[in-house]
Amino acid sequence: MQAAVFLCLLGLVSCKNPFSWGGPSDDSTNQEEACVTDQATCGCCLMQQKIHRMKMYFNTSLSELENELTRTKNTLNNIRASRSAFSVALTNSDTLTCYGPFRDDKLITYQHVFINLGRGYNAATGVFTAPRDGVYSLALTVYSDAGSPGNSLAACANLQVNGQVVAGPKEKNKQDQEDSASIVLAIHLAAGDKVAVNLPIGCFLCDDKSHYNTFTGFLLYATD
């Protein structure tokens, strides 16, 4: 009996149909009747069947785990590829330089780039293009210097999405020689939306390497 079991486990004994009763099957009733006829060989074949089913189960489980790992890697690579963050300043000049005022509204082109992860910000146009649908954090700080007491101070700018104003600090008076303001907001953007800062008529901003005027945005989480 031990020799038969050993040979069967090594695959040297065929259990496909060596008996008059048809051999072992998944039918428990037939298996019980067969085992009465030849208990040693029947036990061997039943053991082979169980080993075969376990092998199929583990192979299937391994295949599913590999597929899930592939999907997870693809998702992670997609997230990494769509990372987006930028932070820019008006200038990096050694001396205080003012931008504006102009006779018409004009988009501000922030020239000094701290970070542009994902390359969504275009320094030539001053426009940030959202790479994907999601909730973004946007921040804008403006600063201006009237030059001397009594001069008109016009520190103002508009944060725009697709040409529409969503927020904008404004300071126009003759009481302050210099002033600044900041806004921070979370906003949902669709892939391809254009975000920029507009300088209204009569407004001007002043900056140097201290970076008083900054424009920042980054993706909080994707929604697509």
Q: For a pLDDT cut of 70, what percent of the chain falls above it?
A: 79
On the question of a cis peptide bond just before residue 101, with omega within 30 degrees of 0, the verdict is yes
Domain end marker among 55, 80, 105: 80
Comparing 57 with 184, the larger pLDDT belongs to: 184
Q: Are residues 29 and 52 in the same domain?
A: yes
Q: Are residues 88 and 191 in the same domain?
A: yes
Domain end marker among 80, 110, 144: 80
Q: Are residues 135 and 32 in the same domain?
A: no
The pLDDT score that the predictor gives to residue 207 is: 95
pLDDT-based confidence at residue 17 (cuts at 50, 70, 90): very low
- Contacts of residue 217, Cβ cutoff 8 Å, sequence gap at least 6: 84, 85, 86, 87, 121, 128, 136, 137, 138, 139, 195
Q: Are residues 14 and 55 in the same domain?
A: yes
Distances (CA, A) of 88 to 36, 120, 216: 85, 12, 6
83-104, pLDDT tens digit by residue? 899 999 999 999 999 998 999 9
Q: Are residues 108 and 201 in the same domain?
A: yes
Q: Are residues 167 and 89 in the same domain?
A: yes
Q: Are residues 87 and 182 in the same domain?
A: yes
Q: Are residues 19 and 45 in the same domain?
A: yes
Domain end marker among 80, 104, 127: 80
Q: Are residues 76 and 93 in the same domain?
A: no
146 within 8 A of 177, measured Cβ to Cβ: yes
Q: Which CATH number fits the domain that encloses residue 101?
A: 2.60.120.40
Residue 10 has pLDDT above 70, yes or no: no
113-162, pLDDT tens digit by residue? 999 999 999 999 999 999 999 999 999 999 999 887 778 888 899 999 99
- pTM listed for this prediction: 0.66
Q: Are residues 171 and 189 in the same domain?
A: yes
Give the structural domain span for 151.
83-222
CA 67/CA 73 separation, integer angstroms: 10
The pLDDT score that the predictor gives to residue 166 is: 95
